[in-house]
Amino acid sequence: MSLQPPGWFPDPWQPAGLRYWDGTQWTPNAAMPPKQPHPTLPFQVAVGALLSMALPLVASRFVLRGLVGQRWPIAVYVVLVAVIAYGPPLVFWRVASARWGTGNASNDIGLTVRWVDAGWGPVTWLSCFLAQAVVGVIVVATKIPFQNNTDQIRAARDNPGYVIPMLVLAVLAAPIVEEIVLRGMVLRGFLSRMAPVAAVGAQGVLFGLAHVDPERGMRNIGLVLMLSAVGCVLGGACYLFRRLAPSMIAHAILNGVAMAVVLSGWTPGSK
């Protein structure tokens, strides 16, 4: 037993119980300490985080339409929209940590990374993929209106000035900011008022709704259902691991795979 790392193991004298091994010897018989409650944030942090993300997203659409006549490189538009949409949530995160948290912005939302997350991230992504596939089959089978959110990228995939900024935005910026907002602040804020299942489900639905495009009309329904399932898996991972890294990695892989499929020109049924 001397080679075992410290931890709780079956008690050699009372196998039905547990005893702590400190790495060199057994400690006196003691009960395993209770698991710490899941960290939460005040509910107003969740509300503020949602507003800080929703309002700039709406504003970015109007700004983009107002500037569409300018002869700027497409990359400028992409960067401008990213700054308008993602800047305010990051500012609110810092303000919320200082006012309602501990002042340590990273710890307040579980923004920590462990080496094991390099494995848990892909596992979480696979779970997201399976959830999305199951809901997708249901959407198709029940003929729920659906349109994906990658058509514009597909139409402009031959323009590197558009594609490269979109790759950075989709694979790096979006996973980081959306996980900080929805799984870092919103989920922890909901957990202060809701049961875990309800909190995870609610933030998952909000994740789906965040991808609504008014121009798609009723065709948003199928997309929202599929992305809500993904949001629930990401939220469940954050709840179980108590940190954001696995869901951030999964989110980045999810977006990266989607971008790769779109840029390759592949469509279902193509050879």
Residue 96: CB partners within 8 Å, gap ≥ 6?
41, 45, 48, 49, 108, 185
With H, G, I as helix, E, B as strand and everything else as coil, classify residue 238.
helix
The stretch 138-154 carries a mean pLDDT of: 82
Q: From the CB of residue 266, how many other CB atoms can be counted at a distance below 10 Å?
A: 11
What's residue 62's pLDDT?
A: 76
Nearest partner of 95 among 48, 61, 128, judged by Cα: 48
Cα Rg of the chain, angstroms? 22
pLDDT at 197 over 50: yes
Which tokens go with 59? 């504003």
- Mean residue pLDDT of the chain comes to 87
The stretch 142-163 carries a mean pLDDT of: 73
What's residue 1's pLDDT?
A: 47
d(CA 25, CA 142): 61
Side-chain-side CA neighbours of 262 within 13 Å: the count stands at 21
> Residue 101 gets which letter from DSSP?
S
Stronger pLDDT, 146 or 120, i.e. the higher one: 120
Give the lowest-confidence range in 34-38, 61-65, 217-221, 243-247: 61-65
What's residue 78's pLDDT?
A: 75
d(CA 221, CA 192): 29
pLDDT at 31 over 80: no
Q: Which residue has the tokens 């500012």?
A: 91
